A and B are shown apart, each in its own frame.
Chain A
């Protein structure tokens, strides 16, 4: 019972994380730095990575059924533009909103995770650093509720 100081230290660490998170999310919206876009390899880097991502999806029986009627060329272009914009690049995604795009697909939580895994595999294939992967994943994870079970 006398080791409560350790517990306080852990609480302090927790508090530091929380404030870091708040700070991190506010500066991504305020300054729109292009650092992530650059680290992903810019326009070409993102397009190549997204091509690998699309090929990974095509071989993934857990999710490929959602894409049987999709226009894959268009999907590749649109998802690349979207990632370009989200990462701070000089692109403007002109497609519909995420809830609209995924409406009626009834994407499950497990399918969302499968897509995330395909993206991670694509990033690994293109030697994207873990720190860069995490920055992109955090942005996409925030869209979880806009995409699933629509």
Chain B
């Protein structure tokens, strides 16, 4: 699957009809989230990945790695964007439990549709809606801790706005996302559970400031639901630095503190992401 998407993206970038023209401004494609959709690190934004504008095709390939003391998360993801209107994404997550031993895996198929507006132009924010369909490829552990299902679909509505001339005459970007989800720990621990087997509504936000056209610093916050009796989920936050040297490449580094995980304190760690755009 991954290989096929890769070949597809390479063919696309070489075909003259579908030539990616990079018709949007630098950094407006954002990064690739750990769930594959275009956005920040942990929050999907209303922006669509790549630099495709009206009538253009674009795509990205990304690799994300998060490393806190006792856990590791690896994500390989690919996206396609047509017309700056619709984005398709595919992500493969592997979660390694270093101290407990074992692995959790899932695949995520995403679609995002731009409903309204433009992140840079106009007074109103850009608004998009999206869905992320997730399927566990390992379900023994989620099952054992009380998860109801091995697959589920998140639905979200996101609003993103950039201010070219914000405070201190810097360009700022802000995003708010509302998500309906049954996923436990993003889906790695299954969907629904013994405590609640229904959708929860959660809020997510990102704020970033561009130091210049190539560097952005920001914070992200993601509220999490509570569907399992065995443990309370904690909300996530991170502080990130994004680097857009050219439209081809984007790199992100984040510092995240997940506080106590499974009784082990100070699970802080780093998160890194590399994205190539076609």
Contacts and interface: CB of A to CB of B under 8 A. Distances in A.
Interface of A: 1-4, 6-7, 10-11, 13-14, 16-17, 20-21, 24, 62, 108-111, 113-114, 116-117, 120, 130-132, 134-135, 137-138, 141, 144-145
A13 to B, nearest CB: 6
B166 A17 contact: yes
Given A3-B237, A17-B167, A145-B122, A110 B23 contact: yes
A113 B165 contact: no
Contacts of A16: 167
B122 A7 contact: no
B224 A21 contact: no
Contacts of A135: 165, 169
Nearest to B206: A10
Contacts of A134: 164-166, 169-171
Contacts of B172: 17
Interface in B189-233: 203, 205, 207, 211-213, 219, 221, 223-226, 232-233
Contact of A3 (B174, B219, B235): B235
Contacts of A10: 205, 207, 219, 221
A137 B166 CA distance: 11
28 contacts: A1-B223, A1-B224, A3-B234, A4-B223, A7-B205, A10-B205, A10-B221, A13-B174, A13-B207, A14-B176, A17-B163, A17-B166, A21-B163, A62-B21, A108-B54, A110-B55, A110-B56, A113-B53, A120-B213, A131-B169, A132-B169, A134-B170, A135-B165, A137-B164, A137-B165, A141-B121, A141-B164, A144-B118
A117 B25 contact: yes
A113 B25 contact: yes
Contacts of A13: 174, 207
Interface of B: 21, 23-26, 53-56, 84, 118, 120-122, 163-172, 174, 176, 203, 205, 207, 211-213, 219, 221, 223-226, 232-235, 237
A2 B234 CA distance: 8
Contact of A1 (B26, B168, B235): B235
B121 A3 contact: no
A141 B53 CA distance: 16
B174 A17 contact: yes
A130 B174 contact: no
A107 B168 CA distance: 32
B235 A2 contact: yes
Interface centre among B54, B169, B212 (most CB of A within 10 A): B169
Contacts of A20: 166-167
